[in-house]
Structure 1
Amino acid sequence: MAVRHFVTWKLAAEDAATRAADAEGIRTNLESLVGVVPGLRSLEVRANTLYPENNWDIILISELDDAEALAAYQVHPAHLEVVEFVKPRVGDRASIDFEV
């Protein structure tokens, strides 16, 4: 059964220009995982465009083959490299996973 994996972040930067640059860097790095991580069917990253004072800044929407593929994605070396890029730019993170 396929798994949808969503992650949303509040970025740490105070100013809008830095947040926009960080969001773009996160998008570029995460989207580079498609075709690299086995079992990763699709991955999309979007920055929030409305109500920045109330909403989270960026979201990852991905689909993987199954729960085992999600577990393998989490520890894949390419994903771990991206995590090292993302972590210092993030103030808070939330995620949800569900089978479809």
Structure 2
Amino acid sequence: MIRHVVTWKLVATDPHEKADAVDTIVRLLSSLPPLVPSVRSLTVAGNMAYFDANWDVVLIADFDDLAGLDAYQSHPEHLLVVPQIKALVSARASVDIDL
């Protein structure tokens, strides 16, 4: 099993704008599991502590194998949300691990 972990820093600095951006990212990514068959589980959430040090949003998604992750990355529904998320973030980091 492959675990795909992505975290983002948001462009917004105002707390209300940040909260709106988090809500948007959560809504967009949470819509994908029923549309992308290779997603086994997906959790996306905003940071809730240590705001000055931590990143703002995290995605944790599991796939059976690397082919499943690749299918998610190139799936048309995923590709539709990517530019919407990119417009809200200033930095992205990710790691993929074998469970």
Q: TM-score, normalised by structure 1?
A: 0.96
**Aligned match of 1:4:** 3
Structure 2 portions without partners, runs of 5+:
none
Distance 1:54 1:98 in 2: 24
- Tell me the residue number matched to 1:92: 91
Residue in 1 that maps onto 2:26: 27
The count of aligned residue pairs is 99
2:63 alignment counterpart: 64
Could you say what the CA RMSD is over the residues aligned between the two structures, in angstroms?
0.7
Shift, 1:6, TM fit = 0.3
Structure 2: how far apart are the matches of 1:88 and 1:29?
13
Deviations 1:15-47 (A, max 9, x none): 111111000110011010012112100111111
Aligned partner letter, 1:22? A
Distance in structure 1 (CA, Å) of the matches to 2:64 and 2:30: 17
> What's the offset of the Cα at 1:48?
0.6
Identity in percent: 45
Does residue 14 of structure 1 match 2:16? no
Deviations along 1:35-62, whole A, 9 cap, x unmatched?
Answer: 2112100111111111111100010011
Tell me how far apart the structure 1 counterparts of residues 98 and 35 of structure 2 sit (CA, whole Å).
Answer: 22
For residue 87 of structure 2, give the secondary structure of its aligned residue in structure 1. Answer: helix
